Amino acid sequence: MQKPMYPSKIIRITQKHGVGTHKNNYAVDEAGIDGGISTLITPFTGSIKKIYTSDANEVWLESIEPVEYPDGTIDYMTIMFAHCNDVSHLSVGQVISQGTEFYSEGTKGQATGNHVHFECGKGKFTGTGWHDDGVAWAINNGKLVTECLWIDDSYHILDTAGYNFRNVKDAEPKKLGTPVERNEDVDQVKVFDTTTVLRARNNPNGEVLGFMNSGVYNLLERALNGDYEWFKVEENLWFAYSNEWCEVLPKKEIVVEPIPEPTPTEPEEPLPTIEQLNEQLHKELVEKEEIINNLTAGVTELTNTIIDKDKEILKLKEQLANQPTLIFTTPKTDYYAIRLEEGQKLYLN
């Protein structure tokens, strides 16, 4: 995208806007380095829309594409030039590239010295290209020259008549906006990587503050203004919507699931009464008491049995203790002589 450049490489403005014949318009007179005839260059690549030879050889040049204004505005531009002595080399519809020498200073019309009178207008060529401002004929949609044209370090400045032109080296776009994380719970908008296209303003009708940073923003407010819908994404930060440079990310809809009908169940049996519970408890206690009594009787019987057996065992032990000790059994009838010491006993069976 082109930046419209001041049409004379040597700047010597001899009359500014708002004075004299420029009282009611935004025209300036550029006289170049001296009183001679200097040649001007095209501020942008443009097409000649009108040539008016009956006055001061006025020529209207319209940009063939939108251009970037010093305030960040992106729009077409039309410039009217006057006082060239000869425009026979120019024709309506002729396209001239930016920086091409095409128009010269002169005195055609009511001019008191060689210079070029020129006026900048915002937008495309409209109507007859000009209107009667009460003092002179002025371009339609006129704007200050400093609001339309840039300079660079190659310009030789003699007199700007107090105008402050913006240098292209200072044209790095100011980027605004702080992107946030994607959040499906709120409406958001995603700005594409078009920081030299999407202008940011303090309100839909406000001044251009710079260009939007790419990324995701919370969509705080929407408003219709002119041909665009405008989005507010931060305090005092708006931009115009177009699917060419952004995408709306609506919040996720909350789906309310219907509450299911309760599943029919079998009717519950009525709870037992206190009397029924007491009766059941008494029955269980009787049963448990009978079991305990049976167990107790069994234990008593077993204990008596053990006592009786213990007595039998004791008796057997006593009997065994009184039994003679078997020495040996003779295999035949025989006689043996045994010598006994005093006090020894001998048992024979």
R_g over Cα of the chain: 60
pLDDT digits (tens, 9 = 90+) for 47-85: 999 999 999 999 999 999 999 999 889 999 999 999 999
Dist CA 149 CA 166 (whole Å): 8
pLDDT digits (tens, 9 = 90+) for 204-233: 988 888 889 999 999 999 999 888 999 999
Burial (CB < 10 A; 0-12, 13-18, 19+), residue 191, is: buried
| Coil, helix or strand at residue 240 | strand
**Which residues on adjacent β-strands are paired with residue 167?**
151
Specify the DSSP element, H or E, that contains 47.
Answer: strand 46-52
pLDDT digits (tens, 9 = 90+) for 89-103: 999 999 999 999 999
Token output for 153: 């370090």
pTM (predicted TM-score) = 0.53
| Comparison of pLDDT for 349 and 272, the residue scoring more | 272
Dist CA 7 CA 55 (whole Å): 21
Dist CA 43 CA 81 (whole Å): 11
Q: Is the per-residue pLDDT at 349 higher than 60?
A: no
Q: How many CB atoms lie within 10 A of CB 23?
A: 13
CATH number at 10-170: 2.70.70.10
Mean of pLDDT values over 252-272: 79
Q: Where are the domains of the chain?
A: 10-170, 175-249
